[in-house]
Amino acid sequence: MAERVDYDEFGLFQENAEEFGLPYDGPPAVRRVFAEVAPGRRLSALVWGAGEPELVLLHGGAQNAHTWDTVAMALGRPLVAIDLPGHGHSDGPGEPAAGQPAIQRNAADVATAIRQLAPAARAVVGMSLGGMTTMALSAEAPELVRAIVLVDILPGSRSGRARHITDFVNGPRSFPSLDELLERTTRFNPSRSRSSLRRGILHNAEQQPNGTWVWRWAKHRSPEASPAPASPEETEARGEQLWAALTSAGVPVLLARGMRPDSVLGDEDEEELRKRLPSAEIVHMPDSGHSVQGDMPLELAALIERFVFGS
């Protein structure tokens, strides 16, 4: 049996600070909370700071709220990072209404959580799946979305560009050891430090009683219960729904676009945003792929600070 690995989710922040040169005089004020979104079903979140939360951060698919740790530490503002349904420490998604896409279900749950945890937040920051959820949220609960920061995502992003991500996510459902999981993750993220990837795994996977490791989000995915893939027509229609939500939100919008080949956006996506929403600000993140919060966390934090707070 594999050796048991100790994990303290609030004991790794010094590593974040040291890796990115942030000042560190002790653990930040952060706590895990739960918001009931339906009878018997809760979303989990990390609440940073003691004041009224000023930001809501939504992670990407197969990630969790800890993906924002370095960004949150660099910002130094009270904020809430939510585990999306079926991710991190949140419960799985609820049963869909007839024809209700998963993004709309996410948005409804997230709206309920934000009303409890961060009703006065100045902006919602969403990466990938979190960004699509943010767009849907702007239609579901417009009073909660006062500005939007999208991290390497737009409606209708070409699925072919995300193939490397889906191939990674759809890989083995369990791993014999932490080292094997780390090796696979390192091959997927060759530009990241091993210490950074190890932290991410400890936050995003859990060791089973028999010593094996599984992703936290994998617990909520059953191959037998997986829905049929959406048709091209359905995908296009859902993309148009998100475009309509984004362009009619009437709030400031910023896109932080990763410029490495492992981004999911291309020039045509950026041009589509310029055409549909000329007021949107677009910032290129030259040393980042899809996960800007991991590749360029300090630069992303500075961008959020400037865009949302003008400082």
Q: Which of 59, 66, 203, 290 is catalytic?
A: 290
Burial state string for 23-35 with b = 16 or more CB within 10 A and e = fewer than 16? eeeeebebeeebb
Cα separation, 80 vs 58, whole angstroms: 9
Note whether 189 and 165 are within 8 A (CB): no
Calculated CA dihedral for residues 151, 154, 156, 160, nearest 10 degrees: -30
Note whether 183 and 149 are within 8 A (CB): no
Cα separation, 295 vs 191, whole angstroms: 8
Q: Among all chains, which residue has been given the structure tokens 């006062």? A: 146
Q: Which of 44, 90, 128, 263 is catalytic?
A: 128
Burial state string for 277-293 with b = 16 or more CB within 10 A and e = fewer than 16? beebeeeebeebbbbbb
Q: Is 152 a catalytic residue?
A: yes
Q: Among all chains, which residue has been given the structure tokens 């959580």? A: 113
Cα separation, 223 vs 298, whole angstroms: 38
Q: Which of 83, 109, 152, 295 is catalytic?
A: 152
Helix (H, G, I), strand (E, B) or coil at 218: helix
Catalogue the active-site residues. 128, 152, 290
